[in-house]
Amino acid sequence: MSDAALPRPKRAPLGRGLAALFGETGTRPLAEFGGARSVPVESVRPSPLQPRGHFGEAELEALAQSIRDKGIVQPLLVRPIEGAANGSGADFELIAGERRWRAAQRAGLHEVPVVVRHLADDEALEIALVENLQREDLSALEEAEAYSRLLRDFDRSQADVAKAVGKSRSHVANTLRLLSLPGPVQRQLEDGALSAGHARALLAAPDPAAVAGEVVRRGLNVRATEALVRRRAAEPTRQPTKSRDPDTVALEAELAAALGLRVTLSAKPRGGSLTLYYSSLDQLDRVLKLLRRG
């Protein structure tokens, strides 16, 4: 049988990665890449694949204090850096646990416990995404981006992702919709001016950016924002005023002067209409006499 005829291996179930990887620790000598081991904190570097872009100062300080008191309970997951020589610079790249790694440096630790695995880029990214989502410490937009990457880059369904991270499918779908908000609204969400609840309410607004500005300016809560969006959605759409043809305006003025009445002309693709406005029967009688003489 040729290689082309071999069936493609099925993808591993999404979300099993961390449990399987950490569950193997302790089954081999620590000197091997299979089990947990301690390495210098400076030999580990952050991963460019990390889906999380922001680490709060208060959050890191609280974790650093916990590490000072109790140490790091769960080891970091890393992979060897190709071509790196042990003992010279960074030898490992973080896959899961960057928050713990940063907090360990704040706590003054010289070494951190790690589990080392040989992982390809796509495996490393998928595990990093799921690990962050399971810990629920991403911002709403980071969460949406993580879902989007799992769907786009790993051919996962929304149901797969929801099951892996312990969320409902509707939660995943609604969070993904945040990526459709205008850029200014997304920035307000990232800066904390708007909450995820505000952002979800704004999805139904006819002009999310304008409504978001009003919400921030007035300091509205989520319930008030939902009511504001409903009111804006119920308002009739205002058609922009079209500039009128100067020749038409001039002709209306000429006719009005000749007849002594207000006159409007409306041009159409074929022909048009002439409307005369009178305020008394005397005005109407005068116009009729002019028309009869004509």
CA nearest neighbour of 191 among 54, 10, 59, 3: 54
The phi, psi pair for 115, rounded to 5°, reads -115, 125
Among candidate residues 93, 98, 126, 143, the one labeled active-site is: 98
Strand partners, 264: 275
Going 209 to 215 to 221 to 227, the CA torsion angle's sign is negative
Residue 291: which residues within 8 A CB-CB, separation 6 or more? none
Place of tokens 């009869």: 292
User: 208-243 burial string, b = 16+ CB within 10 Å, else e?
Assistant: beebbeebeeeebebeebbebbeebeeeeeeeeeee
98 is catalytic: yes
CA nearest neighbour of 172 among 153, 202, 151, 187: 151
Ranges of H-type helices in the chain = 17-23, 57-70, 98-106, 121-135, 140-154, 158-165, 169-176, 183-191, 196-202, 208-218, 222-234, 246-259, 281-293
- Residues known to be catalytic: 98
